[in-house]
Amino acid sequence: MTIRFNDETFRDDYSFRNSATAIRRFPFPFDKDDYMYSVNMEPHGTGGRAGSVFEKRFDVDEHYVAEMRDRAITLAGDPLRCQSLPHMELAGWDLLELIMQCKAEDYPDLFQLHRDGDRWHWINRPLGIEQRFTFLDPTTLPCGPMEYITRQAQGDFAVLDQRENNLWMDAGMVTSQADWSLDFDIGMNFFEWHAPVPKAAEMGIFQRALKFLLAIPQGAPSRRLNWTMTVNPRLDTSPENYHLWGPEKRTITPENVGAKQYLRVELQSFWRLPRSNALAFPIRCYLIALEDLVTVPKWARRLHRVIRDLPDELAEYKGFAVNRPIIIDYLAQFDDGKPTSPGIFPDD
């Protein structure tokens, strides 16, 4: 199946759209009618449900080319969105290998990787890139290995060093984040960068999650879903630019909420890297307008119940408390009170 890449924007005129296919395969994050933080980890890898975003290891979809263009714009305005502490170079090469290998195996019509010892030849057809380079020799790439490959892979990436029984955010490419700053958090450990999250620490979630992550072996990646709400299909909801996108948050009305209010879902996965023993943490962002989401009746019913019953602290932290009443009123019209089936996928 070939993918048609959209010509679209994630800023200014916001021409981003989801096709009917993209709507059906959206990673709806709620497997029941209510939501609270949990250690929601499950295995990730090849052999996920056909057609879903879990089918391939690094999902490539119709937004690929436009997302990479948006990343380049953000980086041009703020180079600190991509940082790697000096000891993370090897992990950068590990990540480059992982992504190139997975993309080439999972999408052979789009990506190719030819290796002859440490002389590699990479072809990225959607972005029109062809690069010959020497693996582990940084002088043969136009930029560092992590930056090079993450300019060609959808989603943000954090690369965590593992030491002292903790994970340290020592490298990352972060241009589509839900309001946190890589530049501020770089060098922090697992508990420090999670410090602003309400409730989860008291629930013991971070202790258990870290224990799980430290033990992830090579070749057995895991994943979890996280979510928030974003006004307009904007990838760069960074704190750095909050003063620029903040006013848009107050433009929601009962008339435009279906079109302007988006559910933002992060498919987060966890990969042990072979040479550096670092942990790669891709954070892939999917956006869907409420008016598209409600075309799946199960999702409409369930999202209404989740948002209506969500603890205030979570709505506040996720930043949509001001718009919550309008969102609930809008979704209520699609909730007939019928029971919903277990699991995240549509019924039909």
Partner 1 sequence: MRATEFSPSIPSRPVYGGLHPHGALPSLMLAEGAGGEALADLAQADPSVMRHAHLFYVPAGAATGPDLAVRLRALGPASYVEGPSYAALRPRFARALADAHMGTRLYLAGSEGLIGQAMAEALAAGLPLEAIDAEHRGGFARRVQCVHCKGITENVATDPFTCSHCGLNLFVRDHYSRRIGAFQGVCVDAETPGIVPEPQEIKP
Residues within window 41-80 making contact with partner 1, judged by CB under 8 A: 80
Q: In whole angstroms, give the CA distance from residue 135 to residue 129.
A: 17
192's contact among ligand HEM, partner 1, none, with CB below 5 to 8 A by partner kind, is partner 1
172 vs 282: CA distance, rounded Å: 9
Residue 242: CB minimum distance to partner 1, A: 5
Helix (H) / strand (E) containing 67: helix 64-77
The contact mask relative to ligand HEM for 315-344 (x = CB under 6 A, - = no) is --xx--------------------------
Is the Cβ of residue 6 or residue 234 nearer to ligand HEM in the bound state? 234
Counting Cα atoms < 13 Å in the Cβ hemisphere of 301 gives 17
51: left (phi over 0), alpha (psi -120 to 50) or beta: left
Q: For residue 5, which of 53, 58, 65, 60 has the smallest C-alpha distance?
A: 65
Q: Which of 23, 197, 216, 326 binds ligand HEM (CB under 6 A)?
A: 197
Binder of ligand HEM out of 87, 112, 126, 180 (CB under 6 A): 180
Of 237, 286, 289, which is closest to residue 264 (Cα–Cα)? Answer: 286
Judged by beta carbon, residue 76 or residue 215, the one nearer ligand HEM is 215
Q: Any catalytic annotation for residue 224? A: yes
Phi-psi category of residue 47: left, alpha or beta, with phi > 0 → left and psi -120 to 50 → alpha: left
Residue 192 binding partner 1, by CB under 8 A: yes
Picked from partner 1, ligand HEM, none, the partner binding residue 4 (CB below 5 to 8 A depending on kind) is none
The first and second tokens of residue 238, run together, are 């960074």
How many residues touch partner 1 (CB under 8 A)?
25
Q: How far is the CB of 127 from ligand HEM (least distance, A)?
A: 26
Per CB under 8 A, 196 contacts partner 1? yes
Exactly one of 213, 252, 296, 310 binds ligand HEM (CB under 6 A); that residue is 213
Judged by CB under 6 A, does residue 16 bind ligand HEM? no
**Residue 290 makes contact with ligand HEM by CB under 6 A:** no
Q: Which stretch binds ligand HEM (CB under 6 A): 81-89, 221-229, 244-252, 321-329?
A: 221-229
Is 315 a binding residue for partner 1 by CB under 8 A? The answer is no
Distance CA 116, CA 108 (A): 18
Q: At what angle do helices 324-332 and 297-309 cross, to 10 degrees?
A: 140
Query: For the sheet containing 261-272, what is the strand order?
Result: 42-43, 222-231, 261-272, 279-289, 156-163, 166-173, 82-84
H or E element in which residue 95 lies: helix 89-106
Three-class DSSP category at 13: coil
Identify the active-site residue in 224, 234, 284, 324.
Answer: 224
Angle 157-129-276 from CA coordinates, rounded to 5°: 35
Q: Is 278 near ligand HEM (CB under 6 A)?
A: no
Q: Which residues in this chain contact partner 1 in the complex, by CB under 8 A? A: 80, 181, 183-188, 191-196, 201, 239-243, 246-247, 249-250, 322
Q: Which residues in this chain contact ligand HEM in the complex, by CB under 6 A? A: 37, 39, 158, 160, 167, 169, 180, 185, 193-194, 196-197, 200, 205, 209, 213, 224, 226, 228, 279, 281, 317-318
